[in-house]
Amino acid sequence: MNPSVKRLGSTFLSILLSLVLAGAGWTAFLKALDVNTLVAKTPADVWAYLVTDEKAGDNLGNVLDGLGVTLRDAGLGLVAGLAAAVAVAMAFVLWRTAERSFMPIAMVVRSVPLVAMTPVITLIFGRDLLATTVISGIVVFFPALVTIAFGLRSASPQAADLVRAYGGSSWTTMRKVMVPSALPALFAAARIAAPGSLIGALLAEWLATGKGLGYAMLTDGSTFKYDDLWASVVAVTLASLAVYALIGVLEALVLARFAPRDER
């Protein structure tokens, strides 16, 4: 079987299994705790709210509108965070002094809870799209930085020595050897960071912008619109799985082209 097809099949099978287990765990959790039906909604309740009720079209439209804003915010944060992580990781590998100087600062910043940093970020960047991009990007940046830097350093020393023996510079070694070798680590970082970018976007919408599903879920909880709240949670979960699957598809295509040996 083609390695790309095998990888894609494995990705979609794992997502389907995750959905089945999540639905079963959701139902069992509510039954075990005997949560009040006014607050707790089952998968059947969410399905009815979004699909079969008289106002299901309006309900689904409202959820999708908020989800569209959240996905935009999370997507920009994911791209910005990964791009910054790649640039900084390459700088750390090329210049060890940069890593020794800036990694402690990065760790200190990472240790501060994002909820505490959000008001400061809002004061600096405002309450618009830039603030959500920064907040979501911060969630993505730090774990991606560690993963990508490890991937760059895992390149074959013999291949790097060969490039240098033919007069290649450090930058040439980075482009020809380290970056291709780090592609699996880059996609692993993207898969890990994708759900985090959604969380960052929801947090920014809740505390800063007042838009998207993050703010809608906040108002739903305070106004007792629990059907809409649970539907929003389901929408975010499904969107996270969809993004994970999309990254898996891109990984299969890219690695089949640039790193075929890793697929055997």
Per the listing, tokens 């993004």 go with 243
Distances (CA, A) of 50 to 15, 22, 71, 239: 22, 18, 19, 15
Nearest one of 132, 259, 124 to 206, comparing CA atoms: 132
Cα–Cα dist 5/104, whole Å: 42
Q: Does residue 5 surpass a pLDDT of 70?
A: no
Q: Does residue 260 surpass a pLDDT of 50?
A: no
Joined tokens for residue 38? 């006014």
User: What pLDDT score does 81 carry?
Assistant: 93
Q: Given pLDDT bands bounded at 50, 70 and 90, which one contains residue 264?
A: very low
- For the segment 55-111, what is each residue's pLDDT rounded down to a tens digit? 889 999 999 999 999 999 999 999 999 999 999 999 998 888 888 888 788 777 777
Cα–Cα dist 160/172, whole Å: 9
User: What pLDDT score does 79 carry?
Assistant: 94
Mean pLDDT, range 249-260, rounded to an integer: 75
Q: Given pLDDT bands bounded at 50, 70 and 90, which one contains residue 262?
A: very low
3-state secondary structure 150-197: HHHHCCCHHHHHHHHHCCCCHHHHHHHHHHHHCHHHHHHHHHHHHHHH
- For the segment 110-157, what is each residue's pLDDT rounded down to a tens digit? 777 878 888 888 888 888 888 889 999 998 998 899 899 999 988 888
Mean pLDDT, range 2-6, rounded to an integer: 63
Joined tokens for residue 21? 């287990």
User: What pLDDT score does 3 carry?
Assistant: 59
Helix (H) or strand (E) holding 90: helix 56-94
Q: Does residue 9 surpass a pLDDT of 80?
A: no
- C-alpha 59 chain-centroid distance: 26
Distances (CA, A) of 186 to 33, 47, 227: 41, 36, 38
- Spell out the CATH class of 3-263: mainly alpha
Selection from 74-88, 91-105, 196-210, 234-248 with the highest mean pLDDT: 74-88
Mean pLDDT, range 181-207, rounded to an integer: 90
User: What pLDDT score does 19 carry?
Assistant: 82
